[in-house]
A and B are shown apart, each in its own frame.
Chain A
């Protein structure tokens, strides 16, 4: 009898058993891959950190500076500081760096600097994680640029400055723990000391300093920073803590991991629902056997074990296959990691860590099966021989009478009301359609959001046509004034506004002084959406970025006061609003022009502008680019795209993968579901045909029902991705400084294109799978 059930089960349910197996395997596969990636990430980050020895505190500074004072400070702070080193950056404008056939790096939003390898710590590594040692005439280019400009080892790049020029052969790629990420706004090229000295003589570029500290194991970072500022040491640039590099490095891989884990959990849920469906659909057929077994005194436990063992075997097999396959899959996912973090990912941790996935899946499946099998307890021996498990315990009031139907043909109506009557059964399908819509629309919305001009909102910039960045050059102030003058007289420009960002000291929550970048200007020209409050309008107002206002930052609310040191005197400013910003580590601030500028601590100038109607934006951008060679001129979209870098590429992959997975799941489950439903309803179908319905009539009933479920699923899916999705994305992004992402939702895509695609694909599946067999004799079902 046991054998008979198991055998029956396999023969009768070849397809569903196969599908459940595939889903469990895929869940394990993705789960194991995700943990595998996490393991790789941990291991390679640790290794990279060990080799690169990043600084714990980095103080940027440009202008006058005295190493002697810093050495003295280091000695005083010996209890905290282990090592100190100052890296001198030779910053160049992208337009001065030539490569390939007449190409330059002018288009980049990154700050480019040439450096010599450090002696003590903060090493820049090659792709084997060895310390770079560059020979004369050679250069190591950052991975970011290698990808961006497709630079090859052996290529030549030439630095031109005034009449001088100097050529370098690319000998290595530079893996730079501190500045790998596209989110860090500068990139370091490594050259030989002799070449460096030569470049200094050429007077190419500006000098900037990275005053770096490596702390003792228990060194107090906060204490050092405070002491540093109190000592009045050079500090007109931002201070960066070590943890931010860690975050930036892990960010894009962590995003991939999150998506994979999410999909894996969905697959586990789908597999569980399939098991439930199989059980519900076939238990009626098995009831007789179960009843007989119970009647002849076989214990409930043994009966349940018959079913349970099947899923145990299935989960173990799926676990092994999924686990093994995950190592293949991971290779596809971690290309980014191999490039940026470590070429050698052969650690052992992953073998152990990714065992978690199959074990977890096994327990989930077995537990869920046990829960479903509890129903067997409720079947008494007699009852089991009689009734239909789906119908039990249901004595609801009769609804949806045929007479009340005013709009549909009776057959269509029968299909629609069936969904209501047996929603428990259709629930699986509904859930699948919601999920499928969700995993298509959410990534699509995210992709659209990142590609929309509105994304500037999350980067703390109001929307404008063109943005001009002036970075530090000798002529920066002149250029800035000249540019403003020119804009004033350019009738093609509808409006413009200039912003100056400089570094100020600000009193932090503990009462000591920190450095903070404050942007000043007129923020009413290109308004920004504020989370709370509004832009600073009058003297004495300041607005803070979300990360700056949060508990980890200054811990301020709208209306609170902030003390800022301007030109030596403390000024109290009132917080007028809080906005979102993911640039510069998320911590920025804005104040009205009336806050005087810290002249020697100016970091950069920005000019935003809108062109007048009918003016070609490209042409304008080209004009200003030619006139102000050192400036970076971007439209807002370009700017966000370059800053987000490979995150957008990964989003594209995820959108495509999402669509593929969604369609695969939708088609598979729909086909499976209909097959199960039709075989479950065999006798009801025969009854309908016996009273004179054609098999086409019956088919239309089921098509109407499933299409209704599809429509509902799509509606709920779109709503879920719009609301729940927005919530999830905001949660994930709040660590970066954007707490309230409003997803851009292109109506024709979300409400027309995606639903239509799903309806066409699923509709086709339905029409193909909804086969009511008409060849057999009808009476077969009735004769017993």
Chain B
């Protein structure tokens, strides 16, 4: 199996003022295999989001190396990074972050149009299919003010998927949703993962983590523990058991 992401002694520091630096990520090493479904857990402020944004090239690391599909992205120009985000990555956020002045379907197809301006029809078709897949095709022409949080997050996922990315990053994508929506979103993500797309999400929720196959546990800028499991299979496995074992593991690691 090849690694889609490979980070070696990755450091992230931010300047807070004169002689005042915050060291957020401390010599972190991380490998993520193609097709994996990974979650990141850890106390608030431990650097989970920072990890996610730095391995995805959204932020720039201070030192170390990050490779995406074998290519070093630390020194890439802004335009090249943007191109990678456009074609190879998808992002979903807790705050959803859709564009205000676009309808839901336009939000979804927007990255497709930017990527392939010539073929608007194809982009539109693809967006429609994705909305159907996530069950919100009826809302296609609505404004973002006319949909619920769960519905909007599905739009976010559709947008992330529109250019057939290799990996999807999620920063607490279910953080603001009720448990029903959370479950629906997770099954969509699992579906996507099953089709081969790598997924990496940050979460606080054990129920969410239980549906992934590897959990990274972060404390104070370090990955202090990892738990590798099988891919979750609802037919042959009881979710409760899985959750309990994760809880136990977390407590062992000082949760």
Smallest CB gap from B95: residue in A: A782
Stretch at the interface among A370-378, A617-625, A685-693: A685-693
The answer to whether the Cβ of B113 comes within 8 Å of any Cβ in the partner chain is yes
Instruction: Tell me the minimal C-beta distance from B12 to chain A in angstroms.
Output: 9
The answer to whether the Cβ of A418 comes within 8 Å of any Cβ in the partner chain is yes
Smallest CB gap from A681: residue in B: B100
B106 close to A401 (CB less than 8 A): yes
A691 close to B85 (CB less than 8 A): yes
The answer to whether the Cβ of A230 comes within 8 Å of any Cβ in the partner chain is no
| 111-140 of chain B: CB within 8 A of chain A | 111, 113-115, 117, 120-121, 124
The answer to whether the Cβ of A150 comes within 8 Å of any Cβ in the partner chain is no
**Which among A421, A690, A695 is the interface contact of B78 at CB below 8 angstroms?**
A695
Interface centre among A402, A417, A421, A691 (most CB of B within 10 A): A691
| 80-114 of chain B: CB within 8 A of chain A | 82-87, 89, 91, 93, 95, 97-103, 106, 109-111, 113-114
Smallest CB gap from B121: residue in A: A403
The answer to whether the Cβ of B252 comes within 8 Å of any Cβ in the partner chain is no
Contacts A696-B79, A782-B93, A783-B49; is A687 near B99 (CB within 8 Å)? yes
Instruction: Tell me the minimal C-beta distance from B249 to chain A in angstroms.
Output: 27
Instruction: Tell me the minimal C-beta distance from B105 to chain A in angstroms.
Output: 8
In whole angstroms, what is the CA distance A409 to B49 when docked? 34
Smallest CB gap from B57: residue in A: A778
Question: What is the predominant secondary structure among interface residues of chain A facing chain B?
Answer: helix
The answer to whether the Cβ of B242 comes within 8 Å of any Cβ in the partner chain is no
B-side contacts of A684, CB under 8 Å:
99-100
B-side contacts of A421, CB under 8 Å:
101
**Which among A391, A410, A774 is the interface contact of B113 at CB below 8 angstroms?**
A410
A692 close to B103 (CB less than 8 A): no
A691 close to B59 (CB less than 8 A): no
**Which among B84, B85, B106, B114 is the interface contact of A411 at CB below 8 angstroms?**
B114
**Which among A388, A683, A693, A774 is the interface contact of B86 at CB below 8 angstroms?**
A693
Number of A-B pairs, beta carbon distance below 8 Å: 100
**Which among A691, A778, A779 is the interface contact of B159 at CB below 8 angstroms?**
A691
> Given contacts A402-B110, A402-B113, A689-B85, could you give 13 more A-B pairs where the C-beta distance is less than 8 Å?
A391-B100, A402-B106, A403-B124, A410-B110, A691-B110, A692-B87, A694-B83, A695-B78, A697-B114, A777-B59, A779-B50, A782-B49, A782-B171
B-side contacts of A405, CB under 8 Å:
120
B-side contacts of A418, CB under 8 Å:
101
The answer to whether the Cβ of A11 comes within 8 Å of any Cβ in the partner chain is no
Q: Considering the complex of A and B, which 5 residue pairs feature the smallest CB-CB distances, nearest first?
A: A692-B86, A777-B59, A779-B53, A410-B113, A692-B85
Interface centre among B89, B98, B143 (most CB of A within 10 A): B143
B83 close to A692 (CB less than 8 A): yes
Give 5 A-B contacts (CB < 8 Å), ordered by A residue: A402-B113, A410-B113, A689-B85, A692-B83, A777-B14
Contacts A777-B53, A782-B93; is A694 near B82 (CB within 8 Å)? yes
| 326-368 of chain A: CB within 8 A of chain B | none
B-side contacts of A411, CB under 8 Å:
114
A-side contacts of B184, CB under 8 Å:
none
Interface size class for chain B? 35 or more
Contacts A410-B110, A696-B79; is A398 near B103 (CB within 8 Å)? yes
The answer to whether the Cβ of B58 comes within 8 Å of any Cβ in the partner chain is yes
**Which among B49, B103, B117 is the interface contact of A779 at CB below 8 angstroms?**
B49
Binding site for B on A (CB under 8 A): 388, 391, 395, 398, 401-403, 405, 409-411, 417-418, 421-422, 683-684, 686-697, 774, 777-779, 782-784
In whole angstroms, what is the CA distance A410 to B97 when docked? 19
The answer to whether the Cβ of B148 comes within 8 Å of any Cβ in the partner chain is no
A402 close to B102 (CB less than 8 A): yes
Instruction: Tell me the minimal C-beta distance from A699 to chain B in angstroms.
Output: 12
A688 close to B99 (CB less than 8 A): yes
B114 close to A782 (CB less than 8 A): no
Instruction: Tell me the minimal C-beta distance from B129 to chain A in angstroms.
Output: 15
In whole angstroms, what is the CA distance A783 to B44 when docked? 12
A409 close to B124 (CB less than 8 A): no
Interface centre among A401, A411, A689, A690 (most CB of B within 10 A): A690
| 192-221 of chain B: CB within 8 A of chain A | none
Smallest CB gap from B106: residue in A: A402
In whole angstroms, what is the CA distance A401 to B89 when docked? 25
A402 close to B114 (CB less than 8 A): no
A691 close to B79 (CB less than 8 A): no
In whole angstroms, what is the CA distance A405 to B85 when docked? 24
In whole angstroms, what is the CA distance A395 to B78 when docked? 37
Smallest CB gap from A388: residue in B: B100
Contacts A391-B145, A691-B85, A692-B87; is A778 near B79 (CB within 8 Å)? no
Instruction: Tell me the minimal C-beta distance from A650 to chain B in angstroms.
Output: 48
The answer to whether the Cβ of B69 comes within 8 Å of any Cβ in the partner chain is no
In whole angstroms, what is the CA distance A401 to B141 when docked? 9
B79 close to A779 (CB less than 8 A): no
B-side contacts of A691, CB under 8 Å:
85-86, 91, 110-111, 114, 159
A-side contacts of B49, CB under 8 Å:
779, 782-783
Smallest CB gap from A688: residue in B: B99
**Which among A398, A410, A690, A784 is the interface contact of B114 at CB below 8 angstroms?**
A410
**Which among A391, A687, A692 is the interface contact of B115 at CB below 8 angstroms?**
A692
B83 close to A778 (CB less than 8 A): no
In whole angstroms, what is the CA distance A328 to B140 when docked? 64
In whole angstroms, what is the CA distance A694 to B103 when docked? 22
The answer to whether the Cβ of B231 comes within 8 Å of any Cβ in the partner chain is no
Contacts A398-B141, A410-B110, A692-B114; is A777 near B101 (CB within 8 Å)? no
In whole angstroms, what is the CA distance A686 to B85 when docked? 13
In whole angstroms, what is the CA distance A684 to B87 when docked? 20
Smallest CB gap from B171: residue in A: A782
Smallest CB gap from A774: residue in B: B78
Instruction: Tell me the minimal C-beta distance from A202 to chain B in angstroms.
Output: 87
In whole angstroms, what is the CA distance A111 to B83 when docked? 80
Instruction: Tell me the minimal C-beta distance from A766 to chain B in angstroms.
Output: 20
Smallest CB gap from A780: residue in B: B59
A401 close to B103 (CB less than 8 A): yes
A778 close to B59 (CB less than 8 A): yes
B-side contacts of A693, CB under 8 Å:
82, 86, 114
B59 close to A779 (CB less than 8 A): yes
B97 close to A687 (CB less than 8 A): yes
**Which among A402, A689, A777 is the interface contact of B109 at CB below 8 angstroms?**
A402
B-side contacts of A422, CB under 8 Å:
101
B-side contacts of A784, CB under 8 Å:
95
In whole angstroms, what is the CA distance A782 to B53 when docked? 10
